[in-house]
Structure 1
Amino acid sequence: MKQSYPVLPLRDIVVFPHMIVPLFVGRDKSVAALEAAMAADKEIFLVAQLDPAEDDPGREDLYDTGVTAEVLQMLKLPDGTVRVLVGGKVRGQLQSIDESGAYLTGEVGSVEEASVEG
């Protein structure tokens, strides 16, 4: 099952399900993605960048697997950056991405979780 989410590329962190992580966001497209998530259901897709130095990442600059997350708290700082607290929910596979809008939007499919017997 595929679902559409605003996409937030991450430079130097990988978020996993059930992690609660504070992030500082400064890129205009990333701030717009967070604002879109807050205006809708507060869900966003977090995915790591292949090259953290890339300032305007596209599909080819992102890993295939990320995590859907809930925006738990968002605070706009005076310098224009945003501090956000996100909670990872489930892993997802980035199927396609739309780069034409004010922010990246991705079609995300589910990932089968392997069961661990212990």
Structure 2
Amino acid sequence: MIADYEGDPKTLIEDQEEGLYPTLCMRDIVVFPTNMTPIVVGRKESLNLVRMLEKKPDTIFCVFCQKNKDTESPYEEDLYPVGVFAKLIKVIKMPGTEQMSIIIQGLGRCQMKHLVQKEPYTVIDVKSLPEKWPDENNDELFRMLYENFHYEATDYIKSN
């Protein structure tokens, strides 16, 4: 995961409309709201989704994790019910293979209502899950923890 967003993360986690969204099913990576995550995609449905997103770069899609990484073509019961909305940041085509490396940014959380399509890529009917934020102005502990975490994370990244 890459947490390099500067600014108020609330601007990334705006509620999305309820409805049908193209979906990327992940085998063993969890994408969190506001985080940028590099992913290697190789399944037919995932490659079809990335190709569509390249043509329509402003499209918001969803990411859901599989319960079992060995499931090749997951259905509704094979996925965890809570995922994230996401946007495609970058696509890197890998030479000599159909696989692609992509970077996505997690947005707000979403909940699966039901899977509606498998081809050419997965589409799931979802609803947005609102985030609960502490009151930063009145929560001194939150502010201190956030500032300390931000300092330590920045220091760690600079030293490595």
- In structure 2, the residue matched to 1:31 is 47
Computing the radius of gyration from Cα coordinates, the structure with the larger value is: 2
More strand by share: 1
Shift of 1:77: 1.4
Point out the more displaced range, 23-32 or 90-99.
Answer: 90-99
Shift of 1:100: 4.3
Instruction: Answer whether contact 2:108 2:131 (CA < 8 A) is retained.
Output: no
Alpha-carbon distance in structure 1 between the residues aligned to 2:19 and 2:55 = 17
Higher relative contact order (Cα pairs below 8 Å, separated by 6+ residues): 1
Point out the more displaced range, 34-43 or 19-28.
Answer: 34-43
- In structure 2, the residue matched to 1:76 is 93
- AA at the equivalent of 2:60: E
Give deviations 1:71-115, integer Å, cap 9, x for gaps: 000122121101000001111111121234211011121102223
- AA at the equivalent of 2:53: A
Shift of 1:3: 2.6
- In structure 1, the residue matched to 2:77 is 60
- AA at the equivalent of 1:32: N
Instruction: Answer whether contact 2:86 2:105 (CA < 8 A) is retained.
Output: yes
**In angstroms, what is the RMSD of aligned CA positions?**
1.4
More helix by share: 2
Alpha-carbon distance in structure 1 between the residues aligned to 2:131 and 2:124 = 21
Structure 1 segments unaligned to the other structure (5+ residues): none
- In structure 2, the residue matched to 1:86 is 104
Instruction: Answer whether contact 1:6 1:34 (CA < 8 A) is retained.
Output: no
